[in-house]
Structure 1
Amino acid sequence: MHENKPDEPRFPPVETVSRPYERNTADGEAEYTGSDPVYAPPLEFTPGERAGEGETRIGVWGGPSSGKTTFLGALRLAVLDPSGPFGRWQVVPSDDVSETFMVETARELAIDRVFPEATQNVRSYAWRFRGDLGGTALGRRRPWRRRPVNRLDFELSVLDVPGGAYKDLETKPHAARSIDHLARAQGLVYLFDPVREAKDNDSFAFLNGTLTRITRLCLQENRLDGPYLPHHLAVCLTKFDDPDVFHRARRGGWTDLGPNGVPVVPDPAGFFDWLADDLHGSTMRLVGQTLRAHFHPSRLHFFTSSAIGFGTMPGGSVDLQRFGNVNVVDGVERIVGPLSPYNVMEPLVSLLLGMRNGGRP
């Protein structure tokens, strides 16, 4: 297995490790002691009216090359593991177009081992997710309630437009339609691509217009919660398997080893801010400030994620010297090994639990 080597460095050079990997506290990789999610204590706030069960809608958006199409395709594969930390889930397409997308992208990722083509045209998708958290650390028991409290149900609704459309809302009417679609959701997933930001330094341009328009729509409908949007937001720092991103996380001491030797970042919000400082001259710090200005802290959750996951050895553990899962063949990026989506379903479950619990995931 070989790591993908770009023609030019996308991040400032970092030291590589030539000796066999040994976990030690100096590297920031202490022994992992459990698989439960780590959350900062939420701040107090008075939640607004929440949608009832079966009416919850979650929207997804991101800038160019953020991996939105691949993320959506990987969701189907992520829910297939019955022993996953988020329980058992079923994904049901709402129409023929959504069904075709789900089936074709799963085949491209798992069988053909190629990435789906990025969005070029406006397309509308919807899937119904039905899950059961029973038997997991996220489940809970309330004997005085008759309804099963571990059952979750939501619609993932996406008006898929090219990521570049969010930069210029005045000349891209389909982007305005997508933003209106996002404004009416209860939960949002924002995909942030640190690799592209390190190169192009323009992520703020795609985020700023979107949130400004959503805030305007929510104010018109009297839905703002003080200065904040009413939504729960999951921020996914994507492509965590990329060597440029992962090496920096290790060098900064942000990684631990989780179950089966798979790396985890216990404090993804802290890592996001640290990386923003490390990418000096980028707009990543503005992105973080904008997100925190628009969403209440108890409704804002950060994740590191990868739609394809790390390259793994037999048994599922990760060789931290040869973890890349992408190779370039004839100028085309191809997936090297089996897919193991990393923090793809977790952001959605976190949003649902936050909405159910009035802010606390």
Structure 2
Amino acid sequence: MAQVKLLPASAYDVDALAATLRACNRAANRASEVAFAKDLKRRDVLQEKVYYALRADFDLGAQPAVRVVKKVCDAYATLRANLKAGNYGPEGSKRRLKVESKPIRFREDAAQPFDDRILTWNLDQRTVSIWTLAGRIKGIPFVCSPEAMKLLASCKGESDLVMRDGMFFLIATIDIPEPDPYEPAGWLGVDLGIVNIATTSDGEIMAGRRLNRYRKRHLELRRKLQAKRTKSAKRVLKRIRRREARHSANTNHIIAKKLVATAERTSRGIALEDLGGIRARVTARKDQRARLHSWAFAQLGAFVEYKARRAGVPVVRVDPRNTSRQCSRCWHTHRSNRIDQARFACRSCGVILHADHNGSRNIAHRGDAAWQRGAVKRPSTA
């Protein structure tokens, strides 16, 4: 993906872009209500039901109406995947019932996808032409990094219009050909955690102390600002929320890049834990809940996977059960093996290791086993 910041030349252009987002998301809410009430999740069936109503009631063009319907269908597909993975709790739980009992709602400033029919890039002049409710606005300047400009040269997918704190951005999806994964010579196991963000089977520990301190400071600041209940406090809350998200994402990008580079340099694959639904399975003490729910393991895993695909590095997901209690040398498994958060001492063979290092070695073994039994797509030998 490549992100660019739009620089609308006038207040008229700003209002037109904002009005377009509002109209598209209101239309998406209408389509979502129909999809939920009549259980219409297939794109062609839902589009047949709502297409003309969206165009008439929200003044959308033909292609924007189509993109709205696709956005709704994609949202329900994501919801089904999350439910299947247990990310909203087990079947019958209060949280899951709440999610399943009402249609998906879109914020008025939620991102809206645009394709090549309603969005045109002019990279030489660094401008875009985009459809709005007020007509097509041409020549909107944009700024971005040199890396993003290189990616935009091959942009053939759709781009999302996003509004953040009154500013407009376009996030372009780039279609890049992916090399076939190579046959790995071994596996780099990665144990994900809160105290240590990632620990590899090579023994490298990427500590999360700095990030956790940063989050703790922001948590205390949020509590103070929320107690004030003033408009200025709310503005600051919004600003620091995005700052914290950017800082966390940047940290995950750095770690993911390092993991992929290590695996590629040594011709190994990467084995990760499948932690889907862990927040619903794990019971945390009250003083640990904030840390658990701010743990961005899914984001780090996604970053590792897409960077690995670009490099041709194979990635496998393994069952994380008992990786912290099983000895990576003799396979003896017992809860007393894990002395505390940092120490592992096998009661059978006597090996002593850092607990996360031991877990990552188990993950590497399980990754190799999954690869050998064909649980992962193998590279072609033809």
Q: Which TM-score bucket, shorter chain as reference? A: under 0.3
TM-score normalised by structure 1 residue count: 0.26
- More helix as a share of residues: 2
Specify the structure having the higher radius of gyration (Cα). 2
Higher relative contact order (CA 8 A, sep 6+): 1
